[in-house]
Amino acid sequence: MSAALLIEQLLNGLQFGVMLFLMAAGLTLIFGVMGLINLAHGSLYMIGAFAAAGVAGWTGSFWLALMGALMAAAMIGALVEMVVIRRLYDRDHLDQVLATFALILIFSEGTRFFFGSLPLYLDTPDLLSGPTTLPGGIEYSKYRLFIIAVGLAVGGGLFWLISRTRIGIQIRAGEADREMIAALGVDIRKLYTMVFALGAALAGLAGAMIGPIQSVEVGMGEPVLILAFVVIVIGGIGSIKGAFIGALLVGLTDTLGRIMLPQLFGMFMDASSATTVGASLASMSIYILMAGILLFKPSGLFGGQS
Protein backbone atom coordinates (compact mmCIF):
# COMPACT_ATOMS: atom_id res chain seq x y z
CA MET A 1 0.00 0.00 0.00
CA SER A 2 1.35 3.41 -0.93
CA ALA A 3 1.89 6.07 1.70
CA ALA A 4 -0.57 8.35 -0.08
CA LEU A 5 -3.31 5.72 0.06
CA LEU A 6 -2.56 5.04 3.70
CA ILE A 7 -2.79 8.71 4.60
CA GLU A 8 -6.02 9.02 2.66
CA GLN A 9 -7.46 6.08 4.57
CA LEU A 10 -6.22 7.48 7.86
CA LEU A 11 -8.04 10.72 7.08
CA ASN A 12 -11.17 8.79 6.13
CA GLY A 13 -10.95 6.97 9.42
CA LEU A 14 -10.50 10.25 11.24
CA GLN A 15 -13.50 11.74 9.48
CA PHE A 16 -15.63 8.71 10.38
CA GLY A 17 -14.37 8.86 13.95
CA VAL A 18 -15.27 12.52 14.24
CA MET A 19 -18.82 11.80 13.08
CA LEU A 20 -19.09 9.04 15.65
CA PHE A 21 -17.80 11.40 18.29
CA LEU A 22 -20.58 13.89 17.62
CA MET A 23 -23.10 11.08 18.18
CA ALA A 24 -21.34 9.50 21.11
CA ALA A 25 -20.73 12.79 22.92
CA GLY A 26 -24.45 13.52 23.09
CA LEU A 27 -25.30 9.98 24.18
CA THR A 28 -22.67 9.85 26.86
CA LEU A 29 -23.58 13.34 28.15
CA ILE A 30 -27.25 12.40 28.38
CA PHE A 31 -26.41 9.17 30.13
CA GLY A 32 -23.89 10.79 32.44
CA VAL A 33 -26.14 13.64 33.54
CA MET A 34 -29.62 12.12 33.43
CA GLY A 35 -28.85 8.40 33.64
CA LEU A 36 -30.85 7.81 30.49
CA ILE A 37 -30.11 5.34 27.71
CA ASN A 38 -31.53 6.91 24.59
CA LEU A 39 -32.00 4.60 21.59
CA ALA A 40 -33.77 7.40 19.72
CA HIS A 41 -30.52 9.35 19.43
CA GLY A 42 -30.14 7.90 15.93
CA SER A 43 -33.52 9.36 15.02
CA LEU A 44 -32.23 12.82 15.87
CA TYR A 45 -29.30 12.20 13.51
CA MET A 46 -31.81 11.23 10.84
CA ILE A 47 -33.94 14.29 11.59
CA GLY A 48 -30.86 16.48 11.19
CA ALA A 49 -30.13 14.94 7.80
CA PHE A 50 -33.71 15.29 6.56
CA ALA A 51 -34.02 18.83 7.87
CA ALA A 52 -30.81 19.71 6.04
CA ALA A 53 -32.03 18.07 2.85
CA GLY A 54 -35.36 19.89 3.18
CA VAL A 55 -33.86 23.31 3.81
CA ALA A 56 -31.26 22.82 1.08
CA GLY A 57 -33.97 21.84 -1.39
CA TRP A 58 -35.95 24.93 -0.48
CA THR A 59 -33.22 27.58 -0.24
CA GLY A 60 -30.39 26.00 -2.19
CA SER A 61 -27.92 26.92 0.53
CA PHE A 62 -25.84 24.31 2.30
CA TRP A 63 -25.04 26.69 5.13
CA LEU A 64 -28.67 27.50 5.80
CA ALA A 65 -29.33 23.76 5.64
CA LEU A 66 -26.72 23.14 8.31
CA MET A 67 -28.26 25.82 10.53
CA GLY A 68 -31.73 24.44 9.89
CA ALA A 69 -30.61 20.94 10.83
CA LEU A 70 -29.08 22.13 14.08
CA MET A 71 -32.18 24.05 15.03
CA ALA A 72 -34.62 21.33 14.00
CA ALA A 73 -32.77 18.63 15.93
CA ALA A 74 -32.38 20.83 19.01
CA MET A 75 -36.03 21.86 18.99
CA ILE A 76 -37.38 18.39 18.41
CA GLY A 77 -34.97 17.11 21.03
CA ALA A 78 -36.22 19.64 23.58
CA LEU A 79 -39.83 18.85 22.71
CA VAL A 80 -39.33 15.09 23.03
CA GLU A 81 -37.55 15.62 26.34
CA MET A 82 -40.45 17.62 27.71
CA VAL A 83 -43.18 15.31 26.44
CA VAL A 84 -41.69 11.83 26.89
CA ILE A 85 -38.10 11.59 28.05
CA ARG A 86 -38.47 13.37 31.40
CA ARG A 87 -40.97 10.72 32.46
CA LEU A 88 -38.24 8.13 32.04
CA TYR A 89 -35.47 9.46 34.30
CA ASP A 90 -36.76 7.60 37.34
CA ARG A 91 -37.59 4.43 35.42
CA ASP A 92 -35.35 1.41 35.02
CA HIS A 93 -33.22 0.84 31.94
CA LEU A 94 -35.73 -1.57 30.45
CA ASP A 95 -38.46 1.07 30.36
CA GLN A 96 -36.02 3.57 28.88
CA VAL A 97 -35.01 1.11 26.18
CA LEU A 98 -38.60 0.29 25.29
CA ALA A 99 -39.88 3.84 25.31
CA THR A 100 -37.02 5.17 23.22
CA PHE A 101 -37.39 2.19 20.85
CA ALA A 102 -41.03 3.23 20.50
CA LEU A 103 -39.83 6.73 19.65
CA ILE A 104 -37.67 5.27 16.87
CA LEU A 105 -40.70 3.57 15.35
CA ILE A 106 -42.67 6.80 15.53
CA PHE A 107 -39.88 8.99 14.12
CA SER A 108 -38.95 6.59 11.33
CA GLU A 109 -42.49 6.11 10.09
CA GLY A 110 -43.26 9.79 10.60
CA THR A 111 -40.30 10.74 8.43
CA ARG A 112 -41.35 8.21 5.81
CA PHE A 113 -44.80 9.76 5.86
CA PHE A 114 -43.51 13.30 5.28
CA PHE A 115 -40.54 12.65 2.99
CA GLY A 116 -41.43 9.36 1.30
CA SER A 117 -39.28 6.26 1.06
CA LEU A 118 -36.89 7.41 -1.64
CA PRO A 119 -33.44 8.48 -0.47
CA LEU A 120 -32.58 12.17 -0.73
CA TYR A 121 -29.24 13.67 -1.62
CA LEU A 122 -27.50 16.81 -0.45
CA ASP A 123 -25.07 18.67 -2.66
CA THR A 124 -21.63 19.57 -1.44
CA PRO A 125 -21.34 23.37 -1.29
CA ASP A 126 -19.21 24.85 -4.07
CA LEU A 127 -16.70 26.19 -1.60
CA LEU A 128 -15.94 22.68 -0.37
CA SER A 129 -16.38 20.56 -3.48
CA GLY A 130 -13.50 18.78 -5.11
CA PRO A 131 -10.16 17.82 -3.67
CA THR A 132 -7.46 19.94 -2.19
CA THR A 133 -3.75 19.24 -2.14
CA LEU A 134 -2.26 18.45 1.22
CA PRO A 135 1.38 18.97 2.14
CA GLY A 136 3.28 16.12 0.53
CA GLY A 137 1.21 16.30 -2.61
CA ILE A 138 -1.68 14.15 -1.45
CA GLU A 139 -5.07 14.95 -2.92
CA TYR A 140 -7.91 14.81 -0.44
CA SER A 141 -11.57 15.79 -0.38
CA LYS A 142 -12.09 19.31 0.92
CA TYR A 143 -15.48 18.40 2.28
CA ARG A 144 -14.15 15.56 4.42
CA LEU A 145 -11.49 17.87 5.78
CA PHE A 146 -14.29 20.29 6.62
CA ILE A 147 -16.07 17.55 8.60
CA ILE A 148 -12.89 16.74 10.49
CA ALA A 149 -12.35 20.42 11.30
CA VAL A 150 -15.93 20.93 12.47
CA GLY A 151 -15.78 17.78 14.59
CA LEU A 152 -12.55 18.80 16.26
CA ALA A 153 -13.87 22.32 16.84
CA VAL A 154 -17.06 20.99 18.40
CA GLY A 155 -15.03 18.59 20.52
CA GLY A 156 -12.87 21.47 21.76
CA GLY A 157 -15.98 23.54 22.39
CA LEU A 158 -17.52 20.75 24.45
CA PHE A 159 -14.42 20.38 26.57
CA TRP A 160 -14.46 24.12 27.15
CA LEU A 161 -18.18 24.11 27.93
CA ILE A 162 -17.94 21.30 30.44
CA SER A 163 -14.75 22.33 32.17
CA ARG A 164 -14.83 26.13 32.06
CA THR A 165 -18.37 27.47 32.04
CA ARG A 166 -21.12 27.90 34.60
CA ILE A 167 -23.38 25.52 32.68
CA GLY A 168 -20.58 22.98 32.61
CA ILE A 169 -20.23 23.19 36.37
CA GLN A 170 -23.95 22.56 36.71
CA ILE A 171 -23.72 19.63 34.31
CA ARG A 172 -20.86 18.09 36.27
CA ALA A 173 -22.69 18.71 39.53
CA GLY A 174 -25.80 17.09 38.04
CA GLU A 175 -23.76 13.99 37.30
CA ALA A 176 -22.61 13.89 40.87
CA ASP A 177 -25.79 14.59 42.77
CA ARG A 178 -29.20 15.47 41.45
CA GLU A 179 -30.80 16.48 44.75
CA MET A 180 -27.85 18.59 45.79
CA ILE A 181 -27.84 20.79 42.76
CA ALA A 182 -31.61 21.14 42.88
CA ALA A 183 -31.18 22.25 46.49
CA LEU A 184 -28.68 24.85 45.34
CA GLY A 185 -31.42 26.46 43.31
CA VAL A 186 -30.52 25.28 39.82
CA ASP A 187 -33.62 24.54 37.76
CA ILE A 188 -32.89 20.90 37.16
CA ARG A 189 -35.72 20.42 34.67
CA LYS A 190 -34.46 23.23 32.50
CA LEU A 191 -30.89 21.94 32.77
CA TYR A 192 -31.97 18.47 31.65
CA THR A 193 -33.94 19.83 28.71
CA MET A 194 -30.92 21.88 27.71
CA VAL A 195 -28.51 18.96 27.94
CA PHE A 196 -30.86 16.78 25.91
CA ALA A 197 -31.29 19.49 23.29
CA LEU A 198 -27.53 19.94 23.13
CA GLY A 199 -27.05 16.21 22.56
CA ALA A 200 -29.78 16.28 19.93
CA ALA A 201 -28.16 19.24 18.18
CA LEU A 202 -24.83 17.39 18.00
CA ALA A 203 -26.57 14.36 16.50
CA GLY A 204 -28.46 16.62 14.07
CA LEU A 205 -25.22 18.30 13.04
CA ALA A 206 -23.62 14.93 12.37
CA GLY A 207 -26.61 13.83 10.31
CA ALA A 208 -26.62 17.02 8.28
CA MET A 209 -22.90 16.86 7.57
CA ILE A 210 -23.08 13.27 6.37
CA GLY A 211 -25.77 14.22 3.82
CA PRO A 212 -23.36 15.06 0.96
CA ILE A 213 -21.43 11.80 1.52
CA GLN A 214 -24.25 9.31 2.04
CA SER A 215 -27.84 9.22 0.90
CA VAL A 216 -30.37 10.62 3.35
CA GLU A 217 -32.92 7.93 4.17
CA VAL A 218 -35.07 6.52 6.91
CA GLY A 219 -33.14 4.17 9.16
CA MET A 220 -29.79 5.89 8.46
CA GLY A 221 -29.36 6.71 12.15
CA GLU A 222 -29.44 3.20 13.51
CA PRO A 223 -26.10 1.80 12.33
CA VAL A 224 -24.46 5.01 13.55
CA LEU A 225 -26.28 4.76 16.88
CA ILE A 226 -25.01 1.25 17.47
CA LEU A 227 -21.47 2.24 16.54
CA ALA A 228 -21.79 5.14 18.96
CA PHE A 229 -22.71 2.62 21.64
CA VAL A 230 -19.58 0.66 20.83
CA VAL A 231 -17.63 3.91 21.14
CA ILE A 232 -19.13 4.58 24.57
CA VAL A 233 -18.52 1.05 25.79
CA ILE A 234 -14.90 1.40 24.73
CA GLY A 235 -14.44 4.91 26.10
CA GLY A 236 -16.43 4.55 29.30
CA ILE A 237 -19.89 5.93 29.96
CA GLY A 238 -20.19 9.58 30.88
CA SER A 239 -16.68 10.52 29.73
CA ILE A 240 -16.40 13.01 26.87
CA LYS A 241 -12.70 12.25 26.64
CA GLY A 242 -13.50 8.54 26.46
CA ALA A 243 -16.04 9.21 23.73
CA PHE A 244 -13.42 11.12 21.74
CA ILE A 245 -10.68 8.48 22.04
CA GLY A 246 -13.18 5.66 21.51
CA ALA A 247 -14.65 7.33 18.43
CA LEU A 248 -11.23 7.76 16.82
CA LEU A 249 -10.29 4.16 17.65
CA VAL A 250 -13.50 2.81 16.14
CA GLY A 251 -13.33 5.09 13.11
CA LEU A 252 -9.74 4.14 12.31
CA THR A 253 -10.20 0.42 13.04
CA ASP A 254 -13.24 0.21 10.81
CA THR A 255 -11.79 2.16 7.91
CA LEU A 256 -8.33 0.63 7.95
CA GLY A 257 -9.71 -2.87 8.60
CA ARG A 258 -11.80 -2.73 5.44
CA ILE A 259 -8.75 -1.85 3.36
CA MET A 260 -6.04 -3.81 5.05
CA LEU A 261 -7.63 -7.09 6.13
CA PRO A 262 -8.41 -8.32 2.59
CA GLN A 263 -4.84 -7.41 1.59
CA LEU A 264 -3.47 -9.17 4.64
CA PHE A 265 -5.33 -12.38 3.82
CA GLY A 266 -4.32 -11.97 0.18
CA MET A 267 -0.77 -12.83 1.23
CA PHE A 268 -1.67 -16.44 1.91
CA MET A 269 -5.01 -17.01 0.18
CA ASP A 270 -6.31 -16.73 -3.33
CA ALA A 271 -7.72 -13.31 -4.13
CA SER A 272 -11.44 -14.07 -4.00
CA SER A 273 -11.44 -15.93 -0.68
CA ALA A 274 -9.11 -13.28 0.76
CA THR A 275 -11.68 -10.64 -0.16
CA THR A 276 -14.46 -12.72 1.40
CA VAL A 277 -12.69 -13.55 4.64
CA GLY A 278 -11.12 -10.11 4.90
CA ALA A 279 -14.40 -8.29 4.34
CA SER A 280 -16.23 -10.50 6.82
CA LEU A 281 -13.59 -10.01 9.46
CA ALA A 282 -13.40 -6.29 8.76
CA SER A 283 -17.14 -5.99 9.34
CA MET A 284 -16.57 -7.52 12.75
CA SER A 285 -13.28 -5.80 13.60
CA ILE A 286 -14.68 -3.03 15.80
CA TYR A 287 -16.74 -5.51 17.79
CA ILE A 288 -13.67 -7.65 18.30
CA LEU A 289 -11.87 -4.49 19.43
CA MET A 290 -14.71 -3.85 21.87
CA ALA A 291 -14.63 -7.41 23.19
CA GLY A 292 -10.88 -7.17 23.67
CA ILE A 293 -11.12 -3.93 25.65
CA LEU A 294 -13.96 -5.39 27.72
CA LEU A 295 -11.81 -8.30 28.74
CA PHE A 296 -9.30 -5.97 30.34
CA LYS A 297 -11.40 -2.96 31.29
CA PRO A 298 -15.04 -3.90 31.82
CA SER A 299 -16.04 -0.28 32.40
CA GLY A 300 -14.23 1.14 29.40
CA LEU A 301 -10.96 3.00 28.99
CA PHE A 302 -12.03 6.11 30.92
CA GLY A 303 -15.04 4.78 32.80
CA GLY A 304 -15.48 4.72 36.53
CA GLN A 305 -17.74 2.12 38.07
CA SER A 306 -20.35 0.72 35.72
Partner 1 sequence: MRRETILNLAIPGILLATALIAYAMEEPYIITLATKAAILALAGVGLNIALGLGGLVSLGHAAFFGVGGYAMGILAFHAQNYMPIWGVLEGTKSMPIIWLVALIASALAALVIGALSLRTSGVYFIMITLAFGQMLFYFAISWPTYGGEDGMSIYLRNDFPGVNTLVPLNFFLICFAVLTVVLVLADRLGKSAFGLALQATRQNVARVEAVGLAPYRLRLVAFTISGAVTGLAGALFADLNRFVSPSMLSWHMSGEIMILIILGGIARLSGPVAGAMLFIALEYVLEDLSHYWHVYLGAILLGVVLFARGGVVGLILGREVAHD
From residue 118, alpha-carbon distances to 112, 115, 168, 208 in Å are 9, 8, 41, 17
Q: Is 110 in the site for partner 1 (CB under 8 A)?
A: yes
Residue type, 80: V
Q: State the minimum distance, in angstroms, from the CB of residue 24 to partner 1.
A: 11
The residue count for binding partner 1 (CB under 8 A) is 46
Closest by CA position to 175, among listed 185, 158, 188, 164? 188
Q: Is 20 in the site for partner 1 (CB under 8 A)?
A: no
Site for partner 1 in 197-226 (CB under 8 A): 222-223, 226
Angle (nearest 5°) at CA 296 between 10 and 280:
45
Residue span 112-151 as binding mask against partner 1, x where in contact by CB under 8 A, dash where not = xx--------------------------------------
Part in contact with partner 1 (CB under 8 A); list of ranges 60-68, 101-109, 142-150, 198-206: 101-109
Q: Is 304 in the site for partner 1 (CB under 8 A)?
A: no
Q: Is 50 in the site for partner 1 (CB under 8 A)?
A: no
Q: Among residues 131 and 298, whose Cβ is nearest to partner 1?
A: 298
Q: State the minimum distance, in angstroms, from the CB of residue 30 to partner 1.
A: 11
Count how many Cα atoms sit within 13 Å of the Cα of residue 5 in the half-sphere of its side chain. 5
Burial class (CB in 10 A: 0-12, 13-18, 19+), 89: middle
Q: Is 276 in the site for partner 1 (CB under 8 A)?
A: yes
Contact 95, 88 (CB under 8 A): yes
Local structure of residue 218 (DSSP, 8 states): T
Other beta carbons within 10 angstroms of residue 304's beta carbon come to 10
Interface positions with partner 1 (CB under 8 A)? 31, 37, 84, 87, 91, 93-95, 97-99, 101-106, 108-110, 112-113, 222-223, 226, 229-230, 232-233, 237, 276, 279-280, 282-284, 287-288, 290-291, 294-295, 298-300, 306
